[in-house]
Amino acid sequence: MTAADYIVRQADSGDQEVWDHFVCNHPEASPYHLFAWKKAVEEAYGHKGLYLVAEQHNTISGVLPIIQIRLALLLRELTALPFCDVGNVLAENKQVVEVLLEKALQLSAKTTTRLHLRGEINIPQSLTEKIFYQRNDKVRMLCKLPPSSEELLTGFKSKLRSQIKKAEKNGLHFFWGGQEHLDEFYSVFTENMRDLGSPTHSRAWFAAILRNYGKNAGLGIVKYEDKVVGGGLILAVADRVSIPWASTLRSYNRLAPNMLLYWNILKYSADAGYTTFDFGRSSLEEGTYRFKKQWGAQPQPLLWYSNTAPQTHATDSASPTTKGKRELLAETWAKLPLPLANFLGPNIRKYISL
């Protein structure tokens, strides 16, 4: 079988069912590969989804979801996928990988945009001079789940179990919510993102995620008395769960709402039969890395690629100069009044593909 034996085309709305069927049965799929991600991006942010399908005899053999992000003359990107850690090629064999990547490179050349791919790829020999690994100091934190929450809890260190019990004794309450609790979650999320010095996603983004993912999404909420003080949004596919967004209010940290939040989400995931929990990306040995590791998560290299050779980049994203600029911008953003940060943030965040 060669690459010439496959036909590549762009998927349309009528392909959602067969696309999702292929994704749900692929061992390397993430929730971000589902067609719902395309619909949410298009609805909330207006970016165009260029979802590629490789077929043989009208049967899908591979998919490559791509989002095109443009901002006048300032920004032109094709990313698989933006706003998450992974999301590139899922294929049955290396020939399908090759044909899908070739088509993506053609789209990149045709639209004069840079191509970004997020996730591990075995780059075909024919494309090693066209697609390059990009330096990335981040890792994915993945946790293998046992068959039950009882077994999961037993496997925790005594210190972690005592922190969970402390959170439960502090009067915090966890429950699963939906669209009706989006405003309360969003209020916590935006305050936390402002405090971290980062522009926030729009409310419309989260509404589109919940609406399009349906039963594959869950919104966990933590309350103290009558106030929502924490929340996390999870996405699922096959036997995997990811938590791309979670926040708690710093002013309630003494009550440990984050411990109750993550424990209940992990508890649900194990009891529901999921076998892998994706805590998302972190920097090695930093605070979020250690927090995730205590739950049993282990680092996995976060491999990203581009059709731009690394040495042509004007600035190394890991350099001290670049880090210093980012830290200064974050400090400045954290000082903004919350209403102003919430007004400006979504208009900026929609063009930040990370």
233 within some domain: yes
The reply to whether 242 falls in a domain is yes
SS3 state of residue 319: coil
Could you give the CA distance from residue 191 to residue 118 in angstroms, rounded to a whole number?
A: 28
Instruction: Decide if 240 is inside a domain.
Output: yes
Q: Are 256 and 269 a contacting pair, CB within 8 Å?
A: no
The structural domain count of the chain equals: 2
Alpha helices in the chain (DSSP H): 16-24, 35-45, 94-111, 149-154, 158-169, 182-196, 203-213, 257-271, 287-293, 320-334, 338-349
Q: Which domain holds residue 261?
A: 146-274
Model pLDDT, residue 193: 96
Angle at 297 between CA 193 and CA 97, to 5 degrees: 90
Is residue 336 in some structural domain?
A: no
In a domain, 332, yes or no: no
Which stretches of the chain score pLDDT less than 50? 312-316
State the DSSP H helix or E strand holding residue 201, giving kind and residue range, or none if neither. Answer: none
Q: Is the full-model pTM beyond 0.85? A: yes
In a domain, 337, yes or no: no
Q: What is the chain's Cα-based Rg?
A: 21
- 19 plus 111 within the same structural domain: yes
Q: Is residue 323 part of a domain?
A: no
Peptide bond into 81 cis (omega under 30): yes
Q: Residues with Cβ < 8 Å from 223, sequence gap 6 or more?
A: 172, 173, 174, 175, 229
pLDDT of residue 73: 75
Which residue, among 157, 62, 64, has the nearest Cα to 115 in the 3D structure? 64
93 and 175 belong to one structural domain: no
CATH of the domain at 18: 3.40.630.30
Other Cβ atoms less than 10 A from the Cβ of 17: the count is 9
Distance from C-alpha of 243 to C-alpha of 262, rounded to nearest angstrom: 10
Structure confidence by residue, pLDDT tens digits, 123-179: 999 999 999 998 778 999 999 999 999 999 999 999 999 999 999 999 999 999 999
State the pLDDT at residue 26: 96
Are 195 and 98 contained in the same domain? no
Cα gap 91→64, rounded to integer Å: 8
The reply to whether 322 falls in a domain is no
Same domain, 216 and 262: yes
The reported pLDDT for the residue numbered 227 is 95
Same domain? 106 vs 151:
no
Q: What is the pLDDT of residue 3?
A: 64
The tokens for 59 are 């049967």
Phi, psi of 268, rounded to the nearest 5 degrees: -60, -45
